[in-house]
Structure 1
Amino acid sequence: MSKTYKVAIIGCGGIANGKHMPSLKKLANVEMVAFCDIELQKAEEAKAKFGSADAKVYTNYKEVLKDATIDIIHVCTPNDSHAEITIAALEGDKHVMCEKPMAKTAADARLMVEAAKRTGKKLTVGYNNRFRSDSQYLKQVCEDGTLGEVYMAKAHAIRRRAVPTWGVFLDEEKQGGGPLIDIGTHALDLTMWMMDNYEPHVVLGTSYHKLGQRENAANAWGPWDPAKFKVEDSAFGMIVMKNGATIMLESSWALNTTQVGEAMCTLSGTEGGADMWNGLTINGEKYSRLYEQKIEFNAGGVAFYDGEAENAPDLEMKLWIDAIEQDKDPVVTPEQACVVSEILEAVYESARTGKAIYFE
């Protein structure tokens, strides 16, 4: 019989309810035994919906870490508390999945990597877009050499008008930034994972706060409050890697454009290319002719049956628990996530100073 892993959820807000807890609930070898939130009602509601019969609720994460029976901690709090809670949990002999981005600052992210190495516990970061069907397929394409050497890539995280108006998304102190650190982080992680390239050389970035002060603005979740909009509404970066490859990173919550899409990448290699703009398309040259190949992910094809779509969060949680059970590296390693945070911070610093940021 395999071990049943006891999991505690710290932060019972939107991402915990939307991703972590529903997917963990489906795993036979996982039991959610503790729920912590600064708002007690949120913790109690999470326990009622997802918890074991004897699950406990807390408002202070430090009390959760005192329970020696807990194996795994999921950190689903605002960005500014990721490092503090994660490091304490690792030092408390717990494995940790921390929501993205890894931390508010690159320095904190590095401390998290060091804590994982020091304690020998497993640490991963919630970059769930790696686990989509199209992402999993494209990763295989990259690994089998179909694209050759990928030397030009674009990381896309563009919304036309979709500024999150709830929680702390607009609070720079708690989040560390706006769309770049919120959704740009997903696109950059996905792109670098496909390229298997984590050695940046230089970063040049720009950020803008051009639309955030508009009253009664059109927005997917209703008008934002300009007085609370303290972060950028768009940010862009050019990253040159040590091997000469280039990544163009684009992110926005509000931008006057009709070409929108997030957590996507475009890859250009010596043997072929790929993009996710209209589903996953592979392109290349064969027998002196250019071709485009659209990859089909619809599992249907039978009358009255559309197939069962693979759920990325479900796969993410399954493979995370498998990594612990089989004592292997998680799909998202802390070292990879740390480089993403370092690049994001370099984009912000370059935008602030007007200078290129070089990595040693």
Structure 2
Amino acid sequence: MLIGEVARRSGVSSRMLRHYDSLGLVRPTGRTVGNYREYSADDISRIFHVESLRSLGLSLREIGQALEDPAFAPAALVSDLIQRTEDRLRREQELLDRLRTVDASAPSGWEDVLRIIELLHNIDSPNPARRQQAALTPDPVPTEVLAKAILTESDPNVAGALRWALARAEGGVASLASGLRSDDAAVRRRAVQAIVELPGAEATAVLEGVLADDDPTVRKHAALALGNRGVVAAIPALVGLIVEGVNDVEAAEILGTLAEDTSVLTALTDALAVSDSPARIRLTQALAELPAPLADDILRSLTDDPDRVVAMLAKALLKD
């Protein structure tokens, strides 16, 4: 089959077929009397092999090595191609995110475009000081940029500056909420720490959704913030902090402000019945934070408690 017919049937241009020939990648096995290239069935099959490998992203040099190497391992090649493709997609996604950020900033001219690009470079800098400086810039930083940076920032000083900047900006809850769905507990902690500093019903609703998070630190931040916002749904989690001895004094003080809800006293009483001695001592102390005389009855009953420390503490609290 002559080169023109091969090109028509295979979809590979005559120019590319000549290039394959010059590289030794696909050489026609025959020549006509007029010295035209003549391809055999095996030659055409090799063309399709080359095109198949090209479709996977291999260079012509890599294709030649693959077809000539008897020890060629397809699995290793495919694994390498997957990694390269994932890296390329990651770079392209980063570029797309950057373009969207520039577009969202509604630049009025190239000066604005260059400013936002410089800001993005500084936010992504390996230097913590530059990242912190970018967060504290007087120019407004796009909310999505701040939220994304918060979810990945490990330096506590930079993270604090980013959270401060986000609290000054409008929105941000939706962008941070995606971090609360991460499988990485560290990302969820960064997200909840930022959300607790944001006002509004949207932030409150998101925090309520993580009161049962698997990570105790996430639960703690959500419970304390919600309690300070007067959300009674946080009461069981706040009592849990007292039982665990985590921010127990702060949790008890917050429960005191929520004591008008009868579930506070109920939750503390129920926890007293099933907790160990150190936790029962903390729970007894928490009862003292409730406005008088809400806890008086339960404190009187505790004066006869088998645990001598609990009994003595209850008597002391009643005298106060």
What interval of TM-score do these two structures reach, taking the shorter chain for normalisation?
Answer: under 0.3
* Structure (1/2) with the larger strand percentage: 1
Q: If you compute each CA radius of gyration, which structure gives the higher value, 1 or 2?
A: 2
TM, length-normalised to structure 1: 0.22
TM, length-normalised to structure 2: 0.24
* Structure (1/2) with the larger helix percentage: 2
